[in-house]
Amino acid sequence: MKNVMKYMLIISLATAITAGKGLAQKAVRKTARVQVEYFKGPDKTENLVATLIVKEKRYVPFGEAMLYFYCLNDTARILLDKIKTNDAGKAVLTVSNNPKITKDPEGKITFIVEYKGSSAVKAAQRKMAIRQGDLELSFFQKDSTKSIEVSATETGADNQRTPIAKVNILFYVQGTFSLYNFAKEKTDENGIVQVAFPVDMPGDTTGVLTIVAKIEENRTYGTIEAKGEINWGKPIQPVKEKKRGLGDTDAPLWMVYTLIVLLSAVWFHYLYVVYMMIKIKLAR
């Protein structure tokens, strides 16, 4: 009897272990990815924008997850900050004038953004190396020719500025809801590019236009933006809205004519009915 109980206990333990292994195999953790972008705005503020996504049926943003931002110094990782992602899976670190950030001898800054993982999601990280660049936007006019000039420079390990040659600069006009691209040119060996000003573009009531110049999603420099305003556009006067009421004196003519025809038809039918009633009475 004791042997039977012993064998049953062994079988029960083996079954439990096998079932546990099966459950462990089924509990597969989701795959995560970290995406990193570097952005320098017109106000010279530098931001590192990290996005965390996880794979379900497709990759979706992963909010309320902690991301760790590091700067790589030789072989050591220096923690800059740890930030939780928002509902869009994004976490933004401002890196301007951060004393913990160092450059290598080539002038590059290497960032590492890490998600340490959880019981449900695998760990993930992304490394990004950038060089610090800058854009300066200016306007000039010679005779009747109006032009935009952009100077692109890079700040090296010794904080000396050198021209950025052969890099694409995109030019936009700032619209109400979006940017309108009107030119794309490469800088010369001095980091300078010039394009003609779009004088046929409409501005505000005084002709003011906002011009945006960008190095956009570049592998070496990330995204750098410069912005400037100039009153060289076509002035656009505000449009006076026409009143559309039937009782307004400046109602559209088609509306007035339609109303006259409809009212005339109604009165015609009234008069016709009265005429027929009189005619019937006289016929008796």
Pair 44, 77: CB distance under 8 Å: no
- pTM tops 0.85, yes or no: no
Domain with 124 in it: 32-131
DSSP secondary structure letter of residue 254: H
> Within 10 A of 50 (CB to CB), how many other CB atoms are there?
24
Q: How many distinct structural domains can be found in the chain? A: 2
| Whether residue 124 is found in the same domain as residue 61 | yes
pLDDT score of 23: 45
Q: Using CA atoms, how far apart are residues 215 and 111, in angstroms rounded to an integer?
A: 20
pLDDT (tens digit, 0 to 9) for every residue of the chain, 284 residues total? 555 555 565 666 656 565 555 544 456 889 999 999 999 999 999 999 999 999 988 999 999 999 999 999 887 999 999 999 999 999 999 998 899 999 998 899 999 999 999 999 999 999 999 999 999 999 998 888 899 999 999 998 888 899 999 999 999 998 878 899 999 999 999 999 999 988 788 877 787 899 999 999 999 999 999 999 998 887 777 666 655 555 556 667 777 778 888 888 888 888 888 888 887 777 76
Residue 186: the pLDDT is 96
122 and 154 assigned to the same domain: no
Q: Do 127 and 142 fall within a single domain?
A: no
Domain of 73: which CATH number?
2.60.40.730
Residue 243 lies in a domain: no
Predicted local confidence at residue 255, as pLDDT? 77
Domain boundary among 230, 246, 275: 230
Residue 247, pLDDT score: 57
Which of 106, 131, 156 lies at the terminal end of a domain, its last residue? Answer: 131
> Rounded CA gap, 6 and 14, in Å?
12
Considering the domain architecture, whether residues 149 and 82 belong to the same structural domain is answered as no
- Strand boundaries in the chain, DSSP class E: 32-40, 46-55, 59-61, 66-73, 76-84, 90-94, 108-115, 124-142, 145-155, 161-163, 168-174, 179-186, 192-196, 209-218, 222-230
Write out the two tokens for 22. 């099966």
In a domain, 38, yes or no: yes
Contact (Cβ atoms closer than 8 angstroms) between residue 68 and residue 86 = no
Cβ atoms 93, 80 nearer than 8 A? yes
CA–CA dist 134, 44 (Å, integer): 8
224 is a domain residue: yes
